[in-house]
Amino acid sequence: MPRFLILLCCLGGLSLSAQRPQVSVLGLLHLHNPGRDAVNADVGDIRSPQRQAELREVVDLVGRFKPTKIAFEFAKGDTLWSDYYYQAWLENRLEEVIDPEDEYLLTSEIVQLAYPLARAAGLDHLDPIDAFTSFPLDSALAHAETHGQTDEVAAFQKYLGGMQVALDSLVQLTVPDLLRAVNSRFFGASMNQAFYLRHLVDLGQRDDYPGTYVVEEWYARNLRIFTNLHRIMEPEDRILVLFGAGHKEILDDLIRDRVDWDWVDSSGLLSK
């Protein structure tokens, strides 16, 4: 065997023999429906007895992962939602202490899912790992319109309309089934990746890359999220990453490419 192959095998053996952290990305929809995305989902009253029972089922299923950390979609460095509000929630005091400007998040996936999962895992805090970048979608569409790409813009808008119809149908499912759908490979490839890697890169001509710039910013955000995940990682960890489903496909790819980490498919966590 050539020496370089022997060396590669040795290096591979070293990385594989060491203790490796486990990571799973659970893609979510915004349960409080802030209406800030290109496509939005309305799951109805998440506090209804039926929806609460469905959320408990998700906690029971995903809780089998026994995470040592829960990383969630809030700005890195936050202590309000990752510590203070979480401790108040554990003590049934959250609604007493929460700032009125934050009350709309009482029905969000942070309070309704991340907090119960953290409590079930016995965690005393959560880890915020988000890192925001720009997302100049409107300016990219306007640029395309003014440069004769009306057909491309129309195709993009039609695609968004189809995504909205699909989400309007999915939100009629139970929460466990809804999460199974948005964590599927089909959703990731057909719904999310097509948004960026098919339609946005259509916007622009010759030396103009307005749509590509939007994609660059989106990937930059996810790379920073990945870096923040790396910074909290320890060899013995089992980290559950809770982020909007639009992030999942990219984060999954990055995690799978870490030969010193074990990627855990969230679809398996959601299976009965």
3-state secondary structure of 267: helix
Residues 136-144: what's their mean pLDDT? Answer: 96
Q: Total domain count for the chain?
A: 1
In a domain, 13, yes or no: no
What is the spatial distance between Cα 266 and Cα 97, in angstroms, rounded to a whole number?
A: 34
Which of 9-23, 129-143, 181-195, 223-237 bottoms out in mean pLDDT, i.e. has the lowest? 9-23
In a domain, 9, yes or no: no
Residues 41-98: tens digit of each pLDDT: 899 999 999 999 999 999 999 999 999 999 999 999 999 999 999 999 999 999 999 9
Residue 122: which residues within 8 A CB-CB, separation 6 or more?
none
The neighbouring-strand residues paired with 71 are 127, 241
Q: Which two tokens stand for residue 81?
A: 């939602």
Long-range contacts at 258-263 (CB < 8 A, ≥ 24 apart): 259/12, 259/15, 259/16, 260/15, 260/18, 260/20, 261/20, 261/21, 261/22, 261/23, 261/233, 262/20, 262/21, 262/22, 262/23, 263/22, 263/23, 263/24
In a domain, 262, yes or no: yes
* pLDDT score of 10 more than 60: no
What is the spatial distance between Cα 173 and Cα 194, in angstroms, rounded to a whole number?
A: 24
Residue 129 has φ and ψ, to the nearest 5°, of -130, 15
In a domain, 5, yes or no: no
* pLDDT score of 18 more than 90: no
User: How does residue 193 score in pLDDT terms, banded at 50, 70 and 90?
Assistant: confident
In a domain, 3, yes or no: no
In a domain, 52, yes or no: yes
**Apex CA 114: angle with CA 112 and CA 116, to 5°?**
70
Q: Which domain holds residue 133?
A: 20-269
In a domain, 8, yes or no: no
3-state secondary structure of 244: strand
Average pLDDT, the chain: 92
In a domain, 7, yes or no: no
Q: Which two tokens stand for residue 178?
A: 């809804």
- The radius of gyration of the chain from alpha carbons, rounded to an integer in Å, stands at 20
Which of 38-42, 77-81, 204-208, 230-234 bottoms out in mean pLDDT, i.e. has the lowest? 38-42
